[in-house]
């Protein structure tokens, strides 16, 4: 039976479990780990920060035996412990040390792939050498920039650096819900031409940048034909995901936008139905970036 293990972001175990169950999968939760079977091949778990593919169950007789069996499969391993923590750590201590230093914006990603493993009980473990993230539990840390006008800039840093989705210098970008200006600041520093739209004003240091134009107004009433062709449509608007979906469709159907990056923000109950509508858009991706809170990032790159 096809099995995967998905790692939920901290505090979003329920979101991951619900998403997997709604896809038709059978799920066993072990804290942040969702051990899922019967996952439809087309469904990508947006709430999973790391997915362990083809996990194998390994029986072992001692700590040394477990470490030897893991080393025989792959050199580098990341432990996600949910039970028998001390025993698990003693096994991990017998494996080659892994380094996980903060990375630079648009810097190179770790070259070494990481296997992931967890103890199931005292004498068996679940391990996978094929994981979707090169970071332990898919958690990415950056060497930050104190100049940024808001923490939101980290979402674009992660998307651009880790997912390789990014506009080229000179790209015409629309930034919806731009204030105080973290995203606009990232895009402007990359050499993009930014139209920043928000009811609120931008931080003065950002609005002064020469490649930034501001439109202080309601983003929902802006007409595509009044803006013209756009290379990238960005939205970090605080709004209901279903309203964002309608907004995105308005701009998609205009034929004036090539690429999209949007944050789906949830308040209270997670709107899984709207998230699925976004995920269904052909060629797009929906993912909980490690920097996302109760939100998902959706993108479409032409
Ligand atoms: C999370 S903040 C955006 C942060 C921004 N991306 C950054 O990097 O600094 C959300 C923004 O959406 C704006 N917003 C919400 N509804 C809006 C609307 N209908 N029209 C324009 N701006 C709106 C708010 O004023 C707020 O500044």
The domain segmentation of the chain, as residue ranges, is 3-138, 153-300
pLDDT tier for residue 130 given thresholds of 50, 70 and 90: very high
User: Is 80 exceeded by the pLDDT of residue 1?
Assistant: no
Q: Which fold has domain 3-138?
A: VC0802-like (3.30.2130)
Length of the chain: 302
- Compute the Cα dihedral for 82, 88, 93, 98 and give only its sign: negative
What is the 28 CA–ligand 1 centroid distance (Å)? 38
Single pTM value for the model: 0.96
Spacing, Cα 219 to ligand 1 middle (Å): 9
CA dihedral 17, 163, 154, 300 (to 10 degrees): -80
Flag whether pLDDT at 297 surpasses 90: yes
Where on the phi/psi map is residue 179: left (φ > 0), alpha (ψ -120 to 50), or beta? beta
Provide mean pLDDT across the span 23-44. Answer: 91
Q: What angle do CA 125, 42, 47 make, to 5 degrees?
A: 60
Closest to 4 in 3D by CA, of 50, 69, 60: 50
Atom of ligand 1 nearest to the CA of 152: 8
206 lines ligand 1 (CB under 6 A): no
Which tens digits make up the pLDDT trace of 246-257?
999 999 999 999
Pick the atom of ligand 1 nearest to 177's CA.
Answer: 12
Q: Which two tokens stand for residue 238?
A: 């605080």
Q: What is the mean pLDDT of residues 141-153?
A: 95
The residue whose CB lies within 8 Å of the most ligand 1 atoms, and thus the one to mutate among 153, 187, 199, is 199
Residue 111's pLDDT band (cuts 50, 70, 90) = confident
DSSP 18-87: HHHHHTT-EEEEETTEEEEES--TT---TT-SEEEES-EEEE-SSHHHHHHHHHHH-S-EEE--SSSHHH
Classified as helix, coil or strand, 281 is: coil
CA of 3 to the centre of ligand 1 (A): 40
pLDDT grade, residue 135 (50/70/90)?
Answer: very high
What residue's CA is closest to ligand 1, atom 22? 198
Q: Going by CA atoms, what residue is nearest to atom 24 of ligand 1?
A: 177
Q: What is the largest CA-CA distance in the chain?
A: 69
**pLDDT band, residue 149 (cuts 50/70/90):** very high
Residue 44: pLDDT band (50, 70, 90) is confident
pLDDT (0 to 100) of residue 2: 83
Q: Which atom of ligand 1 is nearest to the CA of 149?
A: 9
DSSP state of 103: B
pLDDT band at 299, cuts 50/70/90? very high
More confident call, 38 vs 67: 67
Spatial separation of the C-alpha atoms in residues 178 and 60, rounded to whole Å: 54
What is the CA(54)–ligand 1 centre distance, in A? 41
Q: What is the average per-residue pLDDT within 95-114?
A: 94
218 CA distance to ligand 1 middle (Å): 10
Per-residue confidence band for 40, with pLDDT thresholds at 50, 70 and 90: confident
- Indicate the Cα dihedral angle 282, 283, 288, 294, nearest 10°: -40
CATH of domain 153-300: 3.40.50.150
Mean local confidence (pLDDT), 120-140: 97
């Amino acid at each position: 039976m096809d099995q995967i293990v998905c790692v939920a972001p901290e505090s979003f175990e329920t979101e991951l479990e619900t998403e997997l169950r709604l896809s038709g999968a059978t799920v066993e939760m072990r804290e942040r780990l969702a051990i899922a079977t019967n996952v439809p091949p087309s469904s990508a778990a947006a709430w999973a920060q790391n997915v362990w593919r083809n996990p194998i169950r390994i029986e072992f007789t001692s700590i040394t035996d477990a470490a030897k069996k893991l080393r025989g499969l792959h050199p580098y391993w990341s432990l996600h412990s949910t039970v028998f923590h001390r025993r698990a750590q003693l096994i991990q201590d017998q494996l080659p040390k892994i380094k996980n230093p903060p990375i630079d914006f648009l810097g190179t990603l770790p070259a070494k792939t990481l296997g992931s493993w967890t103890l199931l009980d005292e004498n068996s473990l679940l391990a996978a050498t094929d994981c979707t993230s090169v970071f332990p539990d898919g958690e990415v840390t950056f060497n930050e920039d104190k100049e940024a006008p808001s923490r939101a800039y980290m979402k674009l840093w992660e998307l651009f650096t880790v997912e390789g989705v990014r506009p080229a210098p000179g790209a015409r970008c629309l930034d919806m819900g731009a204030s105080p200006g973290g995203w606009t600041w990232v895009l402007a520093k990359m050499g993009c031409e930014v139209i920043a739209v928000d009811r609120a004003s931008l931080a003065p240091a950002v609005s002064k940048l020469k490649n930034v134009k501001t439109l202080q107004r309601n983003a929902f009433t802006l007409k595509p034909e009044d803006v013209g062709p756009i290379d990238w449509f960005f939205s970090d608007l605080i709004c209901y995901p279903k309203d964002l979906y309608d907004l995105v469709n308005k701009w998609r159907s205009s034929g004036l936008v090539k690429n999209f990056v949007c944050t789906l923000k949830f308040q209270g109950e997670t709107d899984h139905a709207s998230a699925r509508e976004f995920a269904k858009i052909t060629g797009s991706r929906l993912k909980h970036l490690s920097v996302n809170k109760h939100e998902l990032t959706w993108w479409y790159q032409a």
